[in-house]
């Protein structure tokens, strides 16, 4: 599980009188609010009805009872996790977390004490599920932090399965703890040896007071009136200052998401003369494309748009599926269209207001509010809502009844390319329900790639395609399930290589080139021959080789055949990429002719078992690359 990251102030408070969330210490009603402790980064947002229904559906499956029984304002807070996980805040209390578990490919509700009490207090446990009753003598040990041991169990739901979420009750039926079962219910009832429940939360039993429901988001808007006004005034000032100081036509980058909608309305409140930019990547949700058209009509402004069409599908066979580390799709599908839109419509460039917020990522938290776009040379970008949380955005949207993308009400918390590797697996699973034809096209593509690479259908189902090098937690899941992560390499003597380059619009960090061979790469052969030493200093790790050339230039070679190179200019990144490509060809196709040995003035190359091997004397000059016949006749 990733660590919490503080990107800004944690701004969730709750008014006990109005029973709604407030973004400061005082409600508009004049009542002092109480601070709600949430997990950083704290990018809080409203729960839509689909999400509330999902929470209740999962609660019924696990405990045979809903968690949220009536109309209430529910806040979600995205928490660090391997996939999607949200804290559930109701009546100013965190009732638990709902998370999508990659290992079991399903949603799971992790109750906190107050959430467990809402389900179990006052109810007959025999009508509920997943409960464990402990002996009175074990209670003090549980409260002291101990796990529930099987000998301390006096009763349990016999249908509990190992790894189920359970609620621990005392002999009076009061909630004492919540955690995860480490054995099934029938074994617990045998009262043998071992841990029955690994306790996550525990608390001395107490009565709970549930406030009366019936609150609405209109009431939350009213309660936050002064905070919304303050943030809006600062954004207005920013927009007016930037637009008056930069003598370029004003545009708003509209993505179909909530943040760009908020920015668009802010700009409309300040300026009369502006246009909308919409880069249709060709892999946008149809609802997003329609929303862009609807929004342009709503504001009665020109929509400058161009579609990448089938660019993604025409390129995926060459590059393989995009990944978190290698998002070649951004360059192919996004960089091209947005550059063309600006070149075709703004001779001297433009000023573009965008919906970037620091709460979204560490990279955006560190970025400037105004900057020259490094991948579209004649565009200046500015971010008026840099310090807003998602809750600020939604309250502003609700206040003005703006035409937001309907996908938010369908369970998607982020709007972008529907097959983005940065999407949660939960969103991709949801895609099968909302857009089955689109999901099938992606799945067929992934299965075809997996078959070509010697990878399994399970590798696809668990979303492992989204990384070239899996995070440690996901590697553990793959190991437990016996899912192979190492692509097979081809015996073919021909290596086709495709490359693209440019700034990474989805993630800042310099200019990158990204390329891919049409087969997996034998990294062990690369390590044994040392060919990459001709380019720079390689470091060998499981599934990836990292390469450092000087102080600024870096490259990575993945077992899947993907290669990335990064530098401070496009020319340098492409040059490094070319040298890495050539070195890989040399390692895999070396005939042992020895031409490179004579070219090396440092005696750093020798023949071993019929192939050239570069040793530790190498100075990374690269002269041996230039004379290699493999390069001349196989590239």
Mean predicted confidence (pLDDT) in 6-19: 84
Please state whether the peptide bond connecting residue 190 to the residue before it is cis, i.e. omega within 30 degrees of 0.
no
Model pLDDT for residues 270-308, shown as the tens digit of each residue: 999 999 999 999 999 999 999 999 999 999 999 999 899
pLDDT at 490 over 80: no
Residue located via tokens 């704290």:
42
Res. 505 pLDDT band, cuts 50 70 90 = very low
pLDDT at 67 over 70: yes
Decide: residue 615, CB within 10 A, 0-12 exposed, 13-18 middle, 19+ buried.
middle
pLDDT score at 503: 43
Please indicate whether residue 13 or residue 376 has the higher confidence score (pLDDT): 13
328: Cβ contacts below 8 Å, ≥ 6 apart = 315, 319, 322, 500, 514, 516
Model pLDDT for residues 337-371, shown as the tens digit of each residue: 888 888 889 988 999 999 999 876 556 545 678 88
Identify the three-state secondary structure at position 602.
coil
pLDDT at 507 over 50: no
Res. 147 pLDDT band, cuts 50 70 90 = very high
Token digits of residue 484: 């192979």
Ranked by mean pLDDT, the top range of 6-15, 251-260, 321-330 is 251-260
pLDDT score at 374: 67
Superfamily of chain region 122-206: PUA domain (2.30.130.10)
pLDDT score at 633: 54
Residue located via tokens 């939604």:
394
pLDDT score at 460: 97
pLDDT more than 70, % of the chain: 94
Mean predicted confidence (pLDDT) in 367-384: 82
pLDDT score at 515: 87
- Mean pLDDT (the chain) is 90
Model pLDDT for residues 412-436, shown as the tens digit of each residue: 988 999 999 999 999 999 999 999 9
53: Cβ contacts below 8 Å, ≥ 6 apart = none
Mean predicted confidence (pLDDT) in 521-536: 91
* Domain boundaries 497-634, corresponding CATH code: 3.30.310.50
Q: H-helix or E-strand containing 185?
A: helix 185-190
Domain extent listing, the chain: 122-206, 224-422, 423-480, 497-634
CATH number for the 224-422 domain, one of 3.40.50.620, 3.20.20.70, 2.60.40.1930, 3.40.50.2300? 3.40.50.620
- Report yes or no: 83 and 107 within 8 Å, Cβ to Cβ: no
Token digits of residue 451: 């078959």
Please indicate whether residue 340 or residue 171 has the higher confidence score (pLDDT): 171
CA angle in degrees (0–180, nearest 5) for 152-157-162: 80
CA distance 148 to 25: 40
Decide: residue 402, CB within 10 A, 0-12 exposed, 13-18 middle, 19+ buried.
middle
Mean predicted confidence (pLDDT) in 44-49: 96
CA distance 488 to 631: 23
- Write down the pTM of the prediction: 0.85
- Report yes or no: 529 and 613 within 8 Å, Cβ to Cβ: yes
Res. 4 pLDDT band, cuts 50 70 90 = low
Q: What are phi and psi of 569, to 5 degrees?
A: -140, 155
C-alpha distances out from residue 528 to 398, 524, 548, 612, Å = 61, 6, 18, 10
Token digits of residue 480: 């437990």
CA distance 133 to 13: 35
CA distance 595 to 544: 29
CA distance 297 to 113: 49
Nearest to 497 by CA among 521, 466, 461, 481: 521
Q: What totals of helices (H) and strands (E) does the chain contain, helices first?
A: 22, 28
Identify the three-state secondary structure at position 338.
helix
């Amino acid at each position: 599980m990733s660590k919490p990251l503080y990107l800004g102030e944690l701004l969730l408070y709750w008014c006990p009188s109005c029973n709604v969330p407030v973004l400061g210490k005082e409600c508009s009603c004049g009542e002092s609010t109480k601070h709600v402790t949430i997990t950083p980064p704290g990018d809080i947002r409203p729960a839509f009805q689909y999400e509330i229904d999902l929470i209740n559906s999962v609660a019924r499956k696990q405990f045979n009872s809903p968690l949220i029984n009536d109309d209430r304002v529910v806040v979600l807070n995205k928490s660090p996790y391997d996939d999607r996980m949200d804290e559930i805040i109701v009546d100013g209390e965190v009732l638990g977390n709902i998370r999508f578990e990659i290992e079991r490919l399903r949603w799971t509700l992790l109750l906190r004490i107050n959430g467990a009490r809402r389900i179990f207090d006052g109810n007959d446990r025999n009508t509920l599920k997943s409960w464990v009753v402990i002996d009175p003598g074990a209670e003090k040990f549980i409260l002291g932090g101990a796990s529930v041991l099987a000998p301390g169990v006096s009763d349990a739901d016999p249908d509990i399965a190992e790894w189920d979420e359970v609620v621990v009750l005392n002999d009076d039926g009061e909630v004492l703890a919540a955690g995860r079962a480490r054995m099934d219910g029938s074994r617990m009832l045998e009262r043998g040896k071992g841990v029955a429940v690994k306790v996550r939360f525990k608390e001395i039993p107490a009565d709970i007071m549930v406030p009366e429901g019936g609150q609405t988001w209109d009431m939350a808007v009213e309660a936050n009136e002064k905070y919304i006004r303050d943030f809006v005034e600062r954004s207005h000032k920013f927009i007016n200052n930037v637009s008056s100081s930069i003598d370029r036509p004003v545009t708003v980058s509209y993505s179909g998401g909530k943040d760009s909608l908020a920015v668009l309305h802010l700009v409309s409140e300040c300026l009369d003369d502006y246009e909308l930019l919409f880069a249709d990547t060709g892999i946008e949700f149809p609802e997003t494309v329609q929303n862009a058209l609807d929004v342009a009509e709503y504001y009665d402004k020109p929509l400058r748009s161009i579609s990448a069409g089938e660019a993604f599908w025409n390129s995926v066979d060459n590059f393989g599926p995009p990944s978190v580390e290698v998002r070649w799709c951004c360059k192919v599908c996004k960089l091209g269209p947005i550059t063309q839109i600006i070149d075709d419509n703004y001779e001297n460039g433009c000023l573009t207001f965008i919906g970037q917020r620091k709460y979204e990522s560490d990279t955006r938290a560190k970025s400037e509010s105004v900057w020259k776009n490094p991948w579209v040379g004649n565009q200046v970008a500015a971010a008026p809502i840099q310090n807003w949380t998602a809750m600020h955005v939604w309250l502003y949207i609700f206040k003005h009844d703006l035409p937001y993308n309907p996908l938010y009400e369908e369970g998607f918390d982020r709007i972008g390319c529907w097959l983005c590797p940065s999407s949660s697996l939960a969103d991709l699973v949801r895609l099968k329900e909302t857009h089955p034809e689109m999901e099938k096209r992606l799945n067929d593509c992934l299965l075809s790639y997996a078959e070509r690479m010697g990878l399994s259908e399970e590798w696809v189902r668990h979303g492992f395609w989204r990384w070239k090098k899996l995070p440690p937690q996901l590697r553990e899941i793959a190991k437990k399930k016996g899912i192979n992560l190492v692509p097979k390499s081809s015996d073919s003597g021909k290596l086709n290589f495709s490359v693209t380059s440019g700034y990474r619009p989805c993630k800042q960090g310099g200019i990158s080139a990204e390329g891919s061979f049409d087969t997996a790469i034998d990294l062990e052969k690369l390590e044994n021959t040392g060919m990459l030493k001709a380019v720079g200093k390689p470091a060998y790790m499981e599934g990836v080789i990292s390469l450092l050339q000087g102080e600024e230039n870096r490259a990575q070679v993945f077992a899947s055949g993907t290669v990335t190179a990064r530098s401070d200019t496009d020319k340098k990144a492409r040059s490094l990429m070319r040298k890495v490509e050539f070195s890989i060809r040399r390692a895999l196709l070396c005939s042992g002719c020895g031409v490179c040995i004579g070219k090396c003035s440092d005696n750093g190359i020798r023949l071993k078992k019929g192939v050239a091997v570069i040793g530790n004397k190498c100075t990374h000059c690269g002269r041996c690359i230039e004379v290699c016949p493999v390069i001349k006749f196989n590239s």
